[in-house]
Amino acid sequence: MKDKFYQYIEDLQNTITATLEKVDGKAKFKEDIWERPEGGGGRTRVISGGNVFEKGGVNISGVHGPLPETMQKYFGVKEADFFACGLSLVLHPKNPMVPTVHANWRYFEMYDKSGNIVNSWFGGGQDLTPYYLFDEDAKHFHQICNRACDKHNLEFYPKYKKQCDTYFWNAHRNEARGIGGLFFDRCSENTEMNMQNWYNFVTEVGNSFLEAYVPIVERRKDLHYTKEQRDWQEIRRGRYVEFNLIHDKGTLFGLKTNGRIESILMSLPPHVQWHYNHTPEAGSEEERLLEILKNPKDWV
């Protein structure tokens, strides 16, 4: 399964980066192959300074070795070896009318001292972080997520949509990071789903990503915006940074397992602002966004 899924994310990375380069029309992804001293490595691809994408990364990795002590405590196990692979992407567009997007699809195995698999699971999801909210974009993104889930289980979309709203909650701000999407984790073999079925589901979601995001980019990338709207985008990016550095488990896992710091922090935007006690004008589009972020909405 690990070889099969790693081949999948290699192919998906190629498909996504090629498509995004066409959408941008200017910038190309720069590739960086790296190795992890303890075992494994990855292929980082970063785009910057484009017509559409100010900064973004589409990264894959496959790492293995002894599970660090901090992660042993997290998983509630003693000494163990692990393998983890996945594709992680974040795209920060230049135009504030285009939302930031994040997605991740991953697979994990844990072994006993004899090398036998004692646990394995899939995880992942995709979520949207707009700066100016267009309802049709939110509905489109969630409809594509819903359709991918429904092909496998009609209960998946409401369940994983709710988990996404819960996970991407900036608790110290009492607001969501964005308008959500899907989030699933620890998807392991049970009476209803074997690992092949989980593989089919996770790859279905991964294959839906471009359809969920690219039409939104195409609709919004050439819209006019003001300096004030750009400032608002950078203020909201600050909240994005706060979530990733304070709450995000993927960032924590990378840092605790001696992950490659440049690849882990590629998710951070290039230009950010923090203003003391910033409050948008009453009745503005900015205020409307905040109201929805404080009360997650059902878009489907």
Q: Is 64 a catalytic residue?
A: no
Contact 220, 97 (CB under 8 A): yes
CA separation for the pair 264, 59 (Å, rounded): 9
Provide the token pair at 236. 């909201």
Which residue in 173, 157, 149, 282 sits closest to 236, CA to CA?
173
Catalytic one of 102, 140, 152, 271: 102
Q: How many angstroms separate the Cα of 276 from the Cα of each of 16, 272, 298?
A: 38, 14, 31
- Which residues 6+ apart lie within 8 Å of 76 measured at CB? none
Spacing of C-alpha 190 from chain mean position = 26
Catalytic residues: 102
